[in-house]
Structure 1
Amino acid sequence: MPSEKPSPAQGSWPLRFEPGERTARRAAGEWPGLTLAGVATRMAQDHPDDIAVMDECGALDYVTCLRRATDMARGLYEIGLHPGDTVSFQLPNWTEAVILNVACALGGFVINPVIPIYRQAELTFILADCRARIAFIPERWRGVDYGAIYEELRAELPGLKAVATVRGAGELAFEDIEARGRDAHHALQAADPDDAKLIIYTSGTTGQPKGVLYSHNQSRRPLSQSFETWGLKAGDTLLMPSPVTHVTGYSYGMEMPFQFGTRTILMERWDAAEALAISRREQVDFMIGATPFLAELASEAEKLGERLPSLRIYACGGAAVPPALIDRANRLFENCRAFRVFGSSECPMVTQGCLDDPDRAARSDGRVNDWEVKIVDDEDQPLPPGIEGEILARGPSLFRGYTDPEATKETFDSQGYFRTGDLGILTADGILTVTGRKKDIIIRGGENLSAKEIEDALHTHPAIKEAAVVSMPHDRLGEGVCAYVIPATSAPMPSVAQLVDFLKQYGLARQKCPDRIEAVNDLPRTASGKVQKHILRNMIREKLRGAAGNPS
């Protein structure tokens, strides 16, 4: 890609705003007009030597981060990127991801985090859909040769002009681009606060991931609410086990230090014993993570008699959270308030927990904060407090639409509320409890998995005539993947291990492969022929409960 003067990219992402919304939210102070570029520059000036983020390989202070991010932004200009272009990264929780995120803000690029578990099938779709111009990857990580995967993909992605390796050798390395930028003198063209900043993908009910669009204003807003509601302060330390390629890890792990002066410790791999040691050594103040993280941290602490006196906050979400787990954590960690929260990639932190009521902290998903929420029936009619229905939400943190305009149209009601696809009950005093899902997804260890995507892959197997995928209880991950299959008469039924090998060859991530297969002669259906998945979920739940009660 030749060196050339940067100019605005063609086809910038159109963002969805309600009529008059920008003016109203600015006037209310909900969107202060700050960008990551601006706050990162301010922190480097005011607190140059303070640590912003650290991983197991070292720490990154504010002034070093800004310097390296500036070099990276100019280096991206040098290799031919323009403001508005999309920069993808499929990285673990490494500090290079933080540098890249700040660089994209400085240079006016759109950042696209990609979950490390994704393989060919997901990557081909995502990188084409977001119009990625460059992707940053590890050469190898956890036994996976990412270089080989991307080499195979590039023939199908003519718009992907470069692949850069991080912490490894390659044709183009992260440091090479930094070096190019160090000698360049391009004026940085940071984005407007209302411009597209982030595209993060979430599994949709149609089976294909959906590209969720955010501007700078929406990226900041949930952080400001958490900072205030949870009683955080500058200098507090966050231990972040969630991937920075998820909206939680991205926002709280990579952005909060620059917005509010907290310090992030990134965990590359989750290990409860290591998390406990880090928390004790670094005096960790708060954590945000899915159910398995809290459950395993509590078990490890209980085993060692560790009370973690510095830990004040644990916000738990992303998967089913048993009330007993919150109760246990609040008993075990002597100064900690653990609580459930509710949100998604499209509407982060709709609730911020119930810090003043331990019972509600464990048995509800918390108080609605900074959002308007309504509960509706199947005809979109609002329901009174205490009645279950679909949760719809709107507010200053709401995403600005999908990369697919048709998907955007389908997901908002006439008043601008987002249809979450989740079922819940809202009390008169604003306490929300999520009771189920209309979406056909499985939340496995905090990862949203599309049942249809897994079914589509299963249907390519010659031994399977029809498949229906549902969630099943899983002790550690919250939910597992159960596939009910009608075998084809012409072939023997594969084992789970054989099916996993087949699906991995198909290009499906290992985490999406079924944990269990149930061969059946038929599937329960409605009169119109639709599979009744609630019956299948009940069947596997009862079967597992019976097996637990009769171990013989």
Structure 2
Amino acid sequence: MSGPLNPIEGVTYHRAEDARRWLADGAWIASTVGDALRDSARRHPERPAFVSDERSITFGELDEATERLAAALLALGLASGDRAIFQLGTTVETALVLLGCFKAGIVPVCSLPQHREVEIGQLARQSGARGYFVQADFGSFDLVGFARQMAQQVPALQHLVVVRGEAQGLSGLQALIDAMPLEEARRRLRDVPVGPEDVLSFQLSGGTTGLPKIIPRFHAEYLGHAAGWMRTYGISADSRLIWSLPLLHNAGQLYALIPVALLGVTTVLMPRVDIRRMLELIEQHRITHALSIGPIAPQLLAYTELSRHDLSSLRLYATMSRADSLEAHLGLPCSNLYGITEGLLLGSGPDASTSRRHHTQGASGCAQDEIRLLEPGSETPVAPGAMGELCFRGPATLPGFFDAPEANARAFTSDGFYRTGDMMSAHVVDGVTCYAFEGRLRDNVNRGGEKIGCEEVESFVSRHPAVADAKLVAMPDPFYGEKGCIFIIPRPGQRAPDVAELAQFLVAQGLAKYKCPERVESIEAFPVTRVGKLDKPALKRHIAQTLAREAAAAAGSRP
């Protein structure tokens, strides 16, 4: 290979010698996602590629539709290397548009339907996007009208395409496909310069504050990255997956989209989380693997009608945490996982020991990944068994955020390890070095100088039989500076324990008394950011405002 065919200014590419080495040792796959899909369609033309309650599409149909769409987008005026804003939900049409863009060399900017003027304006300007895909029937918000408004503010957004719903005078997805004959499409695409080292997509960082940074991902790298996790979890061409979170997320594409193109896996898509329907679909379609990076596990733990569902086809359920509780609840192998858009995936397969699956986040599926645990703010490795900041480099590690030299200067060690801001400890389990998530830098309560790790307390609180999920945040205190406030989602029909009940339970579990939360707030759902991540700053603001109101009311009631 000779580098990218469509180099994009502002993108940091992997070094040529690294690319050659990773291709030679199999960490990268010398193909494009479009070519991988073509190969899978030749092998399995009649097999369902994507299934939803609304429609299904076979590999043969998907390959033809994406050929026609890719050529139609080029005929519309977009070109290989152009970027396009995406505001689409989790549907078969979204998968089709993503794969069509991949074939044309058009780079999706993977924003979300929930993003508004601030995020879309910044992302459009920074990425130089010329295309814009919106879903007309996503919720009650007028995304089509919003896209028109953003195109007026950012003149480079010249090509608006409406996916699902009325096109309202703009280019419609199905009309573009219908107007492009298949043979003409294939002729056009033969000369399109898309190579394995080209940018596949622009993913977004998942920070809880500020505007997201742009993370370029590449064809050969993404294919190899997906192949690594599939080996870890025992995914084969005959596996069936289910996905109900945003398909535009890095996790959605690595777990639910790329396996379809690469191996011929069938994925069942759900536009939103619905636990009862998810279990019905697992039974109906004989799903073999289910994965969750979001709030699904607590909802599953709270679901009381499991006996109604046949889950015997499910070989593994992987989740961010609490795999032990979930396995006891579901009666099938469950595994903790860890993933970060900047390029590392950790996990354990269904045949791994319970110690590895339940008490660590597992190991990387890529033998070429290098992982270090460093003292925060330094490049000094921690002592064996100690917690340290997870830092990594390897075939899927981003070489740099897009057009962000200042962020890049802070994000890496001097020898190129990416700093995650996540605290881990290393454990050798069954002869394999695995990593256990311990918390995040700054995600703690500083109670009079004593640092209380939020993740540790949350894990203990979540063991309480009345608790579906829990999040600890710091609340202001005039004496200690900070104390811990725990926000609890109770299980159905239960009430959250009060402070004294919870402390008694936690101390009996072995938690130090000083770590026990000193306030309990019951909540129906946790707030999330516009990139779909838990919004702990919002919880902190909520409790600070509540305390201020209580103090004002108390002051007003004094004689």
What's the TM-score, normalizing by structure 1? 0.76
Whether 1:156 and 2:159 are equivalent positions in the alignment is no
Residues 36 and 11 (structure 1), Cα distance of their counterparts in 2 relative to 1, 3 Å cut: closer
Name the counterpart of 2:87. 90
CA distance in 2, matches of 1:203, 1:440: 15
Q: Deviations over 1:511-541 (max 9, x none)?
A: 8593562347999xxxxxxxxxxxxxxxxxx
Name the counterpart of 2:418. 418
> Does the CA contact (< 8 Å) of 2:134 and 2:162 recur in 1?
yes
State how 1:250-399 maps to structure 2 within 5 Å.
Answer: 250-290=253-293, 292-300=295-303, 302-304=305-307, 306=309, 308-317=311-320, 321-322=321-322, 326-334=323-331, 336-352=332-348, 355-370=351-366, 371-377=369-375, 378-399=377-398
> Does the CA contact (< 8 Å) of 2:48 and 2:59 recur in 1?
yes
> Does the CA contact (< 8 Å) of 1:276 and 1:300 recur in 2?
no
Name the counterpart of 1:475. 489
CA distance in 2, matches of 1:47, 1:382: 48
Q: Deviations over 1:106-133 (max 9, x none)?
A: 2122122222221222111122222221
Q: CA deviation at 1:25?
A: 1.1
Q: CA deviation at 1:234?
A: 1.2
Q: Deviations over 1:123-147 (max 9, x none)?
A: 1112222222111111132222111
Query: Could you tell me which amino acid in structure 1 is paired with residue 538 of structure 2?
Result: P
> Does the CA contact (< 8 Å) of 1:353 and 1:365 recur in 2?
no
Residues 373 and 510 (structure 1), Cα distance of their counterparts in 2 relative to 1, 3 Å cut: closer
**In structure 2, which of residues 95, 120, 123 is the aligned counterpart of residue 123 of structure 1?**
120
> Does the CA contact (< 8 Å) of 1:226 and 1:352 recur in 2?
no
Query: Could you tell me which amino acid in structure 1 is paired with residue 422 of structure 2?
Result: D
> Does the CA contact (< 8 Å) of 2:51 and 2:268 recur in 1?
yes
State how 1:104-253 maps to structure 2 within 5 Å.
Answer: 104-169=101-166, 170-171=168-169, 172-182=171-181, 186-188=188-190, 189-204=192-207, 207-253=210-256
> Does the CA contact (< 8 Å) of 1:9 and 1:82 recur in 2?
no
CA distance in 2, matches of 1:476, 1:152: 42
**In structure 2, which of residues 532, 538, 542 is the aligned counterpart of residue 514 of structure 1?**
538
Residues 439 and 249 (structure 1), Cα distance of their counterparts in 2 relative to 1, 3 Å cut: farther
Name the counterpart of 1:31. 28
Residues 382 and 519 (structure 1), Cα distance of their counterparts in 2 relative to 1, 3 Å cut: closer
**In structure 2, which of residues 44, 47, 52 is the aligned counterpart of residue 47 of structure 1?**
44
Query: Could you tell me which amino acid in structure 1 is paired with residue 286 of structure 2?
Result: Q
Name the counterpart of 2:68. 71
CA distance in 1, matches of 2:83, 2:485: 34
Name the counterpart of 1:482. none
Over the aligned positions, Cα root-mean-square deviation in angstroms equals 3.3
Name the counterpart of 2:450. none
Q: Deviations over 1:60-102 (max 9, x none)?
A: 1111111111111111111111110012321111111111122
Whether 1:101 and 2:98 are equivalent positions in the alignment is yes
Q: CA deviation at 1:103?
A: 1.3
Residues 35 and 63 (structure 1), Cα distance of their counterparts in 2 relative to 1, 3 Å cut: same
Q: CA deviation at 1:10?
A: 8.0
Could you say what secondary structure the match of 2:133 adopts? strand
State how 1:530-545 maps to structure 2 within 5 Å.
Answer: none
> Does the CA contact (< 8 Å) of 1:219 and 1:251 recur in 2?
yes
Q: CA deviation at 1:310?
A: 0.8
> Does the CA contact (< 8 Å) of 2:234 and 2:349 recur in 1?
no
CA distance in 2, matches of 1:14, 1:226: 26
Name the counterpart of 1:465. none
> Does the CA contact (< 8 Å) of 1:205 and 1:439 recur in 2?
no
Could you say what secondary structure the match of 1:232 adopts? coil
CA distance in 2, matches of 1:33, 1:471: 51
Q: CA deviation at 1:347?
A: 1.8
Q: CA deviation at 1:250?
A: 1.4
CA distance in 1, matches of 2:490, 2:124: 32
